[in-house]
Amino acid sequence: MKEISVKALSLNPFTAFGDDWMALSAGTEEIGFNAMTVAWGNFGTLWERGSHANRLPTAVCYVRPSRYTKAFLDREPYFALSHFGGGFKQALGYLGSHSGRNGDKAVRAGLTPVYAHGTVFFEEASTVYICRKLYHAPLTAAGFADTALIPFNYPKQDFHEMYVGEILRVLVQDEKKGT
C-alpha cells in the first residue's frame, strides 16, 4: 500500500459507510486485536491544532457498548478504518455478525491483518484510514432532538459510543501491485 494525502481523496462518505461498509479495527500484534463492521460514520474536519489554518481531518465512528471491539478502542490510542469498495460484503457481514471473543473472526472472514502505524488493518482493503483517537463519549437519550429515532435504533437503550479520530495516514492499494 502507498500513502496519499488526505486532501487527495475522492470519497463519497455516504457510499463508503452506508453502502459499502467498513471494518473498524484496533489492537496490536503483541496483545491482539478485534474488528467489526461499521455502516454509520462520518468524515470531515473538526478542531484545530496550533493555528486556525490547521483543521484536523477526522473520522467518526459509533460502537455499541456490547461490542468486543470497544475494549480495544478504549485501550489503544490508534484505530483503523478499512474500506473495501463494496467488494467484500460477505466478509464484512461475517465481521459484523460474529464475536471476536470466540476466535479469530478476521481469518474466518478471509481477511489478512496487517500490523503497522500502531494499529491493525486489512491487506485486502482498497483504502485504509489510520486514526489517532481524539475523543469518545456515549450518545444519550437526552441528546436526541428527534426522539422518534430512539425506539427503532435503540430498543434496548444500548446507545452507541462515538469515537472521533484524527486521520493521520491514508493508505491506498498500489496500482502496480501484482504486475
Local structure of 119: helix, strand or coil: strand
Tell me the average pLDDT of the chain: 93
Q: What is the mean pLDDT of residues 3-15?
A: 93
| pTM, entire model | 0.94
Instruction: pLDDT band for 179, please (50, 70, 90 cuts).
Output: very low
pLDDT at position 177: 53
pLDDT at position 171: 97
**Cα–Cα dist 79/172, whole Å:** 16
Strand partners, 55: 48
